[in-house]
């Protein structure tokens, strides 16, 4: 079972201006197959927590455990999709998707099979020989997702992956992601500051506080999918979570004013 166990996690950054406590007392278990969103305004430690789970930046205290192993480094069980399209510009779509498999020294026939399946799954077939610069933002993010799926990690970590996309493309990719998640039975930890996006996607929304980042609300969402953002239930939850996020946003804004006064 690749549950993600996050136990008493703290993260302190040492800066010239003093210590910054980015995460404090984070306790969270993400179940295998669950779709969990980390929600909160900028600066509440969402990326810090995701990076700790990814193994890029281990916590200062506490631990993250997956399948009985403490996470201290990146590993093949966890794939990361960033907001920026982290594609190699000199490689075609198909080559970008194949790259990780080549590094793993997989057989050519196996690589070709996987790449073709993913081109199919993400509706990228007609784009296989294009270069990233010739693709729209939405298409590039499809390639970024395909590239992570190629490695077949049971866990997908996503840091505001659709943040730079226009509203319609974003909805389209949200639907694609839900389809893939259901089909491939992945565990997804997804960072967003969009309340609507979190309600549209998640089984469970973890609202974080602004500095130090703690868990303010652990909210299960039981509405059946596809969810209707114009429904009463959707909007009730949106209002409730909006209130929680706004309180943190105000603390963030007050902090920035204080900093500006010092400068």
Nearer to ligand ADP, 114 or 192 (CB): 192
Say whether residue 158 binds ligand ADP (CB under 6 A): no
Task: Select from 1-9, 37-45, 75-83, 110-118 the region that touches ligand ADP (CB under 6 A).
Answer: 37-45
| Contact status, residue 128 vs residue 92, Cβ threshold 8 Å | yes
Our finding on whether 192 is near Mg ion (CB under 5 A) is no
Shortest distance in whole angstroms from residue 43 CB to ligand ADP: 4
Q: Alpha-carbon distance 81 to 54, whole Å?
A: 11
Three-class SS state of 15: strand
Pick the binder of ligand ADP from 44, 53, 64, 199 (CB under 6 A): 44
Per CB under 6 A, the list member of 6, 22, 54, 177 interacting with ligand ADP is 22
DSSP 222-258: -PPSSP-TTSHHHHHHHHHHHHHHHHHHHHHHHHHHH
Is residue 50 within 8 Å of residue 81, measured between CB atoms? Answer: no
Please tell me the distance from the alpha carbon of residue 23 to that of residue 231, in angstroms, as a whole number. Answer: 34
- Applying CB under 6 A, what is the total number of residues that bind ligand ADP? 13
Indicate which single residue of 78, 147, 211, 227 sits in contact with ligand ADP (rule: CB under 6 A).
211
User: One symbol per residue from 28 to 47: x for binding Mg ion (CB under 5 A), - otherwise; what is it?
Assistant: -------------------x
Q: Does 174 bind Mg ion (CB under 5 A)?
A: no
Q: Does position 48 bind Mg ion by CB under 5 A? A: no
| Residue 46 in contact with ligand ADP, rule: CB under 6 A | yes
Q: Around Cβ 227, how many Cβ atoms within 10 Å?
A: 18
**Please, what is the Cα angle at 255 between 60 and 18, to 5 degrees?**
40
Residues in contact with Mg ion, counted by CB under 5 A, come to a total of 1
Cα angle for residues 100, 101, 106 (degrees, 5° grid): 155
Residue 51 is a binding residue for Mg ion (CB under 5 A): no
Cα–Cα distance, 143 to 96 (Å, whole number)? 8
What is the Cα–Cα distance from 78 to 55, expressed in whole angstroms? 9
| 102 contacts ligand ADP (rule: CB under 6 A) | no
**What does the binding site for ligand ADP look like in residue numbers (CB under 6 A)?**
13, 15, 20, 22, 40, 42-48, 211
**What does the binding site for Mg ion look like in residue numbers (CB under 5 A)?**
47
């Amino acid at each position: 079972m690749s549950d993600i166990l996050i136990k008493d996690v703290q993260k302190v950054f040492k800066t010239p201006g003093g210590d910054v406590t980015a995460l404090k007392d984070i306790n969270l278990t993400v179940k295998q197959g669950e779709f969990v969103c980390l929600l909160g305004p900028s600066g509440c430690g969402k990326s810090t927590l995701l990076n700790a789970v990814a193994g890029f930046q281990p916590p200062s205290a506490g631990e993250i455990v997956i399948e009985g192993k403490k996470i201290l480094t990146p590993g093949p069980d966890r794939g990361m999709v960033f907001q920026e399209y982290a594609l190699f510009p000199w490689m075609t779509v198909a080559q970008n998707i194949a790259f990780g498999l080549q590094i793993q020294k997989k057989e050519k026939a196996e690589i070709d099979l996987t790449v073709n399946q993913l081109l199919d799954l993400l509706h990228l077939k007609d784009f296989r020989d294009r270069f990233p610069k010739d693709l729209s933002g939405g298409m590039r993010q499809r390639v970024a997702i395909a590239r992570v799926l190629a490695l077949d990690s049971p866990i997908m970590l996503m840091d505001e992956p659709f943040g730079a996309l226009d509203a319609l493309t974003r909805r389209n990719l949200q639907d694609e992601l839900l389809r893939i998640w259901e089909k491939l039975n992945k565990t997804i930890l997804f960072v967003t500051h969009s309340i609507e996006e979190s309600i549209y996607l998640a089984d469970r929304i973890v609202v974080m506080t602004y500095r130090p980042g703690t868990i303010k609300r652990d909210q299960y969402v039981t509405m059946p999918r596809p969810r209707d953002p114009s429904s009463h239930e959707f909007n009730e939850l949106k209002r409730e979570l909006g209130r929680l996020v706004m309180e943190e946003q105000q603390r963030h804004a007050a902090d920035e004013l204080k900093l500006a006064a010092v400068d």
